[in-house]
A = this chain, B = another copy of it.
Amino acid sequence: MSGRVTILTGGVGGAKLALGLCHAISASDVTAVVNTGDDFTHLGLAISPDIDTLLYTLAGKSNSTQGWGRANETWTFMEAVRSLGGEDWFALGDGDLALHVIRTQRLRQGHPLSAIIADLADAWHIAARILPMSDNPVATRVLTPDGELDFQHYFVRDRCAPVIRAIRFAGAESARAAPGVVESIRDEQSRAILIAPSNPFLSVDPILAVPSIRQALLETRAPVVAVSPIVAGDAVKGPTAKIMRELGLEVSARTVSRHYGDLIDGILVDERDPPVALDVTAARADTLMKSLEDRVRVARAALELADSLRK
């Protein structure tokens, strides 16, 4: 067994665990497979919110107070856009724009997203590997009583207020996993595959909707462990619990466990959750990740569970 670990992750919450993982083991043994279902084009710029959160978090540049974006950000661009009557519902920080402008330029030149992200991560000396789930566009769309919404319209513009009836991932069926994704999940020498405590419906499902990724998870010999995003019977942040209720599901680790079904071998559950019978092996821990120490601790607990599940 090598020390290599792959983590499937969305943005903020998942990035915290990825950071913990990079401290729990050697960062160069970490591969993060990141949701791109939130990606969209805004003001003509290609935005990849979850990937950028990973870049900022693993480069030590994230804004820990705000919970998203860069530390030491300025907002002169947005003020100018507003003065020109431009769309201002999606906040683009001045420093953040550098990622979007460079990404947009290189995509237009024909570079795949994965190659662009690898170069950006290199420039910031990030030892972990950050892989988009796919170089093909996949767009998360939310069906509400008032019709279908683009993900960012639902998530940012409408602040998750609309009721969700269903979610789909346009383009996922025909999307190929980005280079390295399937290989890292299937890697026989891997220590573990982790599913981060990101929103299962909005952040992890787009990754699982890429057929070759789902297949690799079903077939890998490495133990697959999910970290439940439910803490003390509620979601730490974001619309996870709200969506579970809207979809008629119990807000619990059991729902998360059943949602992932036979893709996972175990689940790490928050110790404050009421004990319930699960279909997979569970371990319990304090899964709230406020400090870096918390993040490392949760990563270690997930790895311990994975180690206990080796086939």
Which residues of A pack against B, CB within 8 Å? 43-45, 70, 72-74, 76-77, 79-81, 83-86, 93-99, 101-102, 104-105, 108, 119-120, 123-124
Contacts and interface: CB of A to CB of B under 8 A. Distances in A.
Contact of A44 (B77, B83, B108): B108
Contacts of A44: 101, 104-105, 108
B120 A94 contact: no
Contacts of A77: 77, 94-95, 97-98, 101
Chain A residues touching B, majority SS: helix
B93 A76 contact: yes
Copies of this subunit: 2
B43 A105 contact: yes
Contacts of A86: 98, 102
Given A101-B45, A102-B84, A102-B86, A79 B95 contact: yes
B102 A74 contact: no
B94 A74 contact: yes
20 contacts: A43-B101, A43-B105, A44-B108, A70-B80, A76-B76, A76-B95, A77-B94, A77-B95, A80-B94, A80-B96, A80-B97, A81-B98, A83-B98, A84-B99, A84-B120, A84-B124, A85-B119, A86-B98, A86-B102, A94-B94
